[in-house]
Amino acid sequence: MSDLRRVLVLNGPNLGRLGSREPDIYGATSYKGLVDSCRTLGTELGFDVEVRETNDEGEMIRWLHEAADGSIPVVLNPGAFTHYSYGMRDAAAQRTAPLIEVHISNPYTREEFRHTSVVAAVATGTIAGFGIGSYLLALRALADELTG
């Protein structure tokens, strides 16, 4: 059994296509690169990081329930679910540990429909616009939240 604190990094639709999907917006880092970066920093911070990606809203909701039931901290990039998934928002609201919303790009510099997050009001905080670095900042913020 590991002494590391379990953390879930949950990714919504199309994030598994990082590196090939609109690299001018989402960068050239592949999904594997994201996973490796999160796990490496997580270990340094004392976390056992599990990174998941889904295009299925129901699966995301089940993962958020798993996190709530297990008091597992979450880094969440809801992808397009950010703007309309009230079911996912309600699942995130049930959190029993910190939940940090992340976005690779800055939604406020993009199309107007991306300016609204239904998750932000129930998250511990939101980090956006720093590319893959948004995830690393979120992991550092989790470490601060959990030790503060």
Query: CA-to-CA distance for 145 and 27, rounded, in angstroms?
Result: 28
Tokens of 58: 């129901």
| Fold assignment, 5-147 | Rossmann fold (3.40.50)
Residuewise pLDDT in 10s, the chain (148 residues): 456 799 999 999 877 666 656 556 655 567 898 999 999 999 999 999 999 999 999 999 999 999 999 999 999 999 888 877 899 999 999 999 999 999 988 776 666 866 678 999 999 999 999 999 999 999 999 999 998 7
pLDDT of residue 91: 97
Q: For residue 58, how many other CB atoms are within 10 A of its CB?
A: 10
pLDDT of residue 70: 97
Query: CA-to-CA distance for 6 and 133, rounded, in angstroms?
Result: 20
CB 122 within 8 A of CB 91: no
Given 26, 65, 115, 135, the catalytic residue:
26
Laid out side by side, the sheet with 5-11 consists of 47-53, 5-11, 74-77, 99-103, 125-128
Q: For residue 94, how many other CB atoms are within 10 A of its CB?
A: 14
Query: Is 2 labeled as ligand-binding?
Result: no
Instruction: Specify whether 115 is catalytic.
Output: no
Instruction: Specify whether 26 is catalytic.
Output: yes
Q: Backbone phi, then psi, for 99, in 5-degree steps?
A: -135, 120
pLDDT of residue 1: 45
Query: Is 17 labeled as ligand-binding?
Result: no
Tokens of 12: 């919504």
**Is this structure's pTM higher than 0.75?**
yes
Q: For residue 134, how many other CB atoms are within 10 A of its CB?
A: 22
Given 84, 103, 115, 135, the catalytic residue:
103
